């Protein structure tokens, strides 16, 4: 799922670079880059992946998984994905005027599936197994998407701070992150100077069924 909205249910996370005396009030109405979302969707279609072009991720504090009551509430509110790592990363990226894309890999049914007693509540090892089984698809999607990103963006992500009197940046800043549903699994490479560096970083991302996500930095 290529999410276009999030719901923040976290507490106590540092979520701004501007702690005062100046405060920056950036818009979070559309937190994910529309240009990157459209591009990733086109590539996903070309690769015959099962995907949805929009959805809402509810970001929970973790590290525990949801209760059945919480999971039922999320579903009835119309929220599509449960995760632990989208916030505050997406807003911090907006403050840095970085285009940000979210790709959600669905691994489980959270606390189970109502009316289907054979579908049990999620366990951490189930999450890691599904991630490991699909890491090649994720890498292929990113490897095909990154070279297609234009150097000069047509979106407004790079102008998020204009209202605060900051100078507009030229070109794109690059970051690479991989996030998995459950246990706050997240890995982000350092800021990358070019799209070519981002593609190279993909080869150093792996998922092991037991140990989770790992990143081997270039020596």
From 98, 92, 198, select the one nearest 156 (Cα to Cα): 98
| Residue 15 appears among annotated catalytic residues | no
Residue 22 annotated as catalytic:
no
Buried-exposed string 92-118: b where 16+ CB fall within 10 A, e elsewhere? bbbbbbbbbbbbbbbbbbbbbeeeeee
Pairing of strands 81-83, 177-179: unpaired
Marked catalytic residue, from 30, 108, 126, 173:
108
Q: Which of 110, 126, 140, 173 is catalytic?
A: 110
Residues with catalytic function: 108, 110
């Amino acid at each position: 799922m290529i999410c276009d909205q999030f719901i923040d249910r976290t507490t106590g996370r540092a979520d701004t670079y501007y702690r005062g005396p100046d405060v920056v009030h950036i818009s979070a109405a559309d937190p994910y880059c529309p240009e990157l979302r459209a591009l990733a969707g086109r590539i996903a279609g070309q690769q015959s992946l099962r995907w949805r072009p929009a959805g809402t991720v509810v970001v929970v504090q973790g590290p525990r998984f949801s209760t059945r009551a919480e999971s039922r509430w999320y579903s009835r509110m119309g929220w599509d994905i449960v995760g632990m790592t989208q916030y505050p990363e997406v807003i911090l990226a907006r403050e840095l005027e970085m285009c940000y894309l979210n790709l959600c890999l669905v691994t489980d049914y959270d606390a189970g599936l109502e009316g289907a007693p054979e579908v049990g509540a999620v366990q951490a090892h189930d999450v890691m197994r599904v991630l490991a089984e699909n890491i090649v698809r994720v890498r292929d999607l990113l490897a095909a998407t990154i070279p297609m990103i234009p150097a000069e963006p047509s979106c407004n992500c790079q102008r998020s701070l204009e209202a605060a009197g900051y100078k507009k940046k030229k070109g794109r800043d690059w970051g690479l992150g991989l996030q998995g549903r459950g246990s706050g699994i997240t890995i982000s490479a350092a800021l990358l100077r070019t799209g070519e560096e981002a593609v190279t970083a993909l080869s150093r991302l792996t998922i092991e069924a037991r140990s989770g996500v790992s990143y081997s930095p270039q020596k």
